[in-house]
Chain A
Amino acid sequence: MKVLVTGAGGFLGVHVVERLLAHGYTDIRCLLRERSKGDRLLEIAATYPGARVELCFGNLRSKADCARATAEVSLIFHLAAGLKGSAAELFADSVVASRNLLESLPGRDGFPAAQTRIVLVSSFGVYGVANLGRGAHVDEQTPLEPHPELRDPYSQSKLRQEQLFWDFQRAMGFELVVLRPGVIYGPGGGAFSNRVGLQIGPVFFHLGGSNLLPLAYVANCAEAIVVAGGHHDSAGQAYNVHDDDLPTAAQYLRAYKRRVKRLRTLRLPYFMTRSLAGLLEGYHRRSQGQLPAIITRYKAATSWGGNAFSNAKLRSIGWRQLVPTGDAMEQTFAALREQDQPR
């Protein structure tokens, strides 16, 4: 069985390819945009001599590239998505690209769309948690965001992407498995999620306080994707992905300051964050957008409202955390420390 991994050259993609090989998949096509990112994949492939890892360079915005990538493939791990840039780019890279990928499935000789399985890497950001109240429990039954227009462009694009996949699944009948990771972190990734706080000028505003941080170490997340993608009961299901022993935002920040570098931080309690968000929102409206509404009350409730999380559903299909959170944070901080050294 030939497997396709889109976004294979990315932060998560490399780990997914490694876990696929570890789980015994032997025929993997890696779709990536940048040729420079192929070397790392070939290094990993070299440690599994019996496996065939094919590099396929292309862009999912191109329908021709999509057709090339999905030819003779019956299992697709769709990781490619826009992570930064303008809203238009995020939608083009996440939603238009996904639509192109899905439209390339019918008409492949001997590989009907209905007999294909797609594993979509979505996001925690698709949930509508703003109105749940502080401490509310977020699991796979939590409703999707009812007000995307009030969210940031990344969450908007990921929500639309997931809706697109469910729509196409109903029309084409393929098997769809959706993974919704929390904050993916690890060596090569960023230092802070917005859930911890925001760097504004020289000061890091610590807004997450004692909220649980739904961290998913990149190798653990990749393991979850591969386990769910290969499980016989996972079709039509969504799984939240985060590690077992979650730190709070404050614990993470303290550990960062101890292990990586000192940081000038200012901790704002949630009621103050919400009040400031209200002021900023009001000014943004009155001034017709002279200063960007980087924080609104809705976004504050979504990011810093404080939720409880569960990965019970993921554990029920056999996922186990490969790297304990303590080790994962240490490895991440070591990489960040090195990155911070003057060259």
Chain B
Amino acid sequence: MGLKIAIVGCGKIADAHVEEIAKISTARLVAVCDLEPIMAEQLAMRYQVPHWYSDVQAMLDAEKPDVVHITTPPQSHLALTRQAVAAGCHVFIEKPVALRHCDVEAIIQTAVDSGKKLSVNYWPNFEAPALELRRLYQAGVLGRPVHVESFYGYNLAGEYGTAFRRDPDHWVHRLPGKLFQNVLDHALNKITPFLLDEHPVIQAVAYSADSADSSGKLLDELRVTICGAEASAFVTFSSHARPIEHSLRVYGTRNTARVDFTARTLVLDRQQGFPSALGRLFPPFLTAKDYLRQGFRNVSLFSHARFHFFDGMRTLLNEFYRSIESDSPPPIDYGEILRVSSMMERIFEQVYPEVFA
């Protein structure tokens, strides 16, 4: 029969959850729920979900799901986590986890106290090149990380960007960290595996570069410097740089790795052993060889139908569901989730001091 899954929150991102759950043979989606019945109904209609609800408790009582996916705006995540856990459910939460760091702590504590498992949709970290990076790091190929650069490009003219720019009441505008808070998890969660400090030094600067926004109120460019005891990081969030890039560069004491999350490639910049001019001659060919290998790997993934946009989410969900069935640790360490949330809060304190005063 497998795990019974339910989704709370039937906005745009819920589509991705429904589609990825459907690809997992050990799970089945039994119901969806939204405070707005029309939204719950439309999701159930489009994906032929057996039941839909507009009352979470009614759904929990009737369907008794094993796992609840929470895909509502983050304002409601703490209360919904408590409600789901009280009903005996494990919880999978869409990012951002909560409005404030203290709420993220409370969410995790709720899961720990009840013996239920929790994970967060940090799906890019479960894409093939990200998993390969993790393997290289653990195998010592990179050496000790010295510096990490995470670049996160955003498309204000895309579906998500257009939606919140068009609607002044959109929930993103009510986030204390505004636009940044909705997406910064994905920039920060890529560096936390390499920067383990609980309280690194953080400096953040944000500004508006949107010529269409005459009010200048929408801050859409962010630069962050993070200094830990053993490693540092730069985080760039850009709404205007083209092409839209999602990338990570990890500078290690042995080699440097470059991950392109858009093209799904990982290449290594290796230390050169060749003397003199030869050392300048070979690197492009070695890099080309890496790209060729990655290109063929992607073709192979495509031919095996493992090259979907949200393939990382499927891998993450598979690992999360497996951790529930085998009672093993969930795929994302709670400490990592807390470090991301803590960094976000400290960045927003500097960018929006009036909100966080």
List residues of chain A with CB under 8 Å of any chain B CB: 33, 59, 61-62, 85-89, 91-92, 95-96, 99, 148-149, 153, 156-157, 160, 286-290
Bound together, the chains give a CA A148 to CA B159 distance in angstroms of 23
Q: In whole Å, how far is A31's beta carbon from the nearest beta carbon of chain B?
A: 15
Please tell me if the beta carbons of B45 and A156 are within 8 angstroms of each other in the complex: yes
Tally A-B pairs: CB < 8 A: 64
Residues of B contacting A91 with CB < 8 Å?
A: 38-39, 42
9 further A-B pairs in the complex, CB-CB below 8 A; given A59-B167, A61-B169, A156-B46: A86-B12, A87-B42, A88-B39, A88-B43, A91-B38, A92-B36, A92-B39, A286-B305, A290-B308
* B148-176, CB < 8 A from A: 159, 162-163, 166-169
* A288:B169 contact, CB within 8 angstroms: no
Contacts of B23 in A (CB 8 A): 288
Q: Which of chain B's residues 42-76 have a Cβ closer than 8 Å to chain A? A: 42-43, 45-46, 48
Dominant SS among interface residues on chain A: helix
Give the shortest distance, in Å, between A9 (CB) and chain B (any CB). 12
A88 engages B10 (CB within 8 Å): yes
Chain A nearest CB from B214 CB (Å) reads 11
What are 30 of the A-B contact pairs (CB < 8 Å)?
A: A33-B166, A85-B162, A87-B15, A87-B46, A88-B10, A88-B14, A88-B15, A88-B39, A88-B43, A89-B12, A89-B159, A91-B39, A92-B39, A95-B38, A96-B36, A96-B39, A99-B38, A148-B45, A149-B45, A149-B46, A156-B42, A160-B42, A288-B19, A288-B22, A288-B23, A288-B305, A289-B19, A290-B302, A290-B305, A290-B307
Min CB–CB distance A265 → chain B (angstroms): 28
Q: Which residues of A contact B19 (CB under 8 A)?
A: 288-289
Chain B residues near A85: list those with CB within 8 A. 159, 162-163
**Within 8 Å of chain A (Cβ to Cβ): is B11?**
yes
Contact call B42/A288, Cβ cutoff below 8 A: no
**How far is B22's CA from A96's CA once the two chains are assembled, in angstroms?**
27
Q: How far is the CB of A57 from chain B (nearest CB, A)?
A: 10
A211 to chain B, nearest CB (A): 27
Inter-chain contact B46/A86, CB cutoff 8 Å: no
Which residue in B42, B48, B307 is a CB contact (below 8 Å) of A88? B42
CB neighbours (8 Å) of B11 from chain A are 88
Residue of A nearest to B310 (CB): A289
Q: Which residues of the other chain, A, contact B308 by a CB distance below 8 angstroms?
A: 288-290
Q: Which of B1-51 contact A (CB under 8 A)?
A: 10-12, 14-15, 19, 22-23, 36, 38-39, 42-43, 45-46, 48
In the bound complex, what is the Cα–Cα distance between A33 and B168 (angstroms)?
Answer: 10
Contacts of B14 in A (CB 8 A): 88
Docked pose: A286 CA to B308 CA in angstroms: 13
Closest beta carbon of chain B to A286's beta carbon, Å: 7
Q: Which residues of A contact B36 (CB under 8 A)?
A: 92, 96
Measured CA separation A86–B160 after assembly (Å): 9
Residues of B within 8 A of A289 (CB): 19, 308
Q: In the complex, what distance in Å separates the CA atom of A286 from the CA atom of B304? A: 10
Kindly report which residue of chain B lies nearest to residue A153, judged by CB atoms.
B46
Bound state CA distance, A149 and B22, in angstroms? 16
CB proximity of B39 to chain A, nearest CB, Å: 6
Kindly report which residue of chain B lies nearest to residue A96, judged by CB atoms: B38
User: In angstroms, how far is the closest chain B Cβ from the Cβ of A204?
Assistant: 23
Q: Which residues of A contact B15 (CB under 8 A)?
A: 86-88
Chain B 89-128 interface mask (CB, 8 Å, partner A; 1/0) = 0000000000000000000000000000000000000000
Please report the C-alpha to C-alpha distance between residue A70 and residue B46 in the assembled complex, in whole angstroms: 32
Pairs of residues from A and B, 6 with the lowest C-beta to C-beta distance, nearest first:
A287-B305, A86-B12, A91-B42, A88-B12, A88-B11, A288-B23
The minimal Cβ–Cβ distance linking B298 to chain A, given in whole angstroms, is 12
- Across-interface contacts of A157 in B (CB, < 8 A): 42
> Is the beta-carbon distance between B305 and A149 smaller than 8 angstroms?
no
CA A59 to CA B169, docked complex, whole Å: 9
A26 and B36 CA atoms in complex are apart in Å by 37
Q: Shortest CB–CB separation between residue B342 and chain A, in angstroms?
A: 31
Which chain B positions have C-beta within 8 A of A86?
12, 15, 159, 163
Nearest-neighbour CB distance to chain B for A32, whole angstroms, equals 12
Distance A207 CA – B46 CA, assembled complex (angstroms): 26
- Compute how far the CA of A85 lies from the CA of B162 in the bound complex, rounded to whole angstroms: 8
- Assembly CA distance A160 to B43 (angstroms): 13
- Give every chain B residue within 8 A of A287 (Cβ-Cβ): 305
Q: How far is the CB of B128 from chain A (nearest CB, A)?
A: 14
Q: Could you tell me the distance between the alpha carbons of A87 and B43 in the complex, rounded to whole angstroms? A: 9
A149 to B45, CA, bound (A): 6
In Å, the complex CA distance between A89 and B12 comes to: 7
A181 to B163, CA, bound (A): 26
CB distance from B155 to the nearest CB of A (A): 14
Which of B12, B42, B43 makes the CB contact (< 8 A) with A95? B42
What distance in Å separates the Cβ of B125 from its nearest Cβ neighbour in chain A? Answer: 21
**Residue of chain B at shortest CB distance from A95:** B38
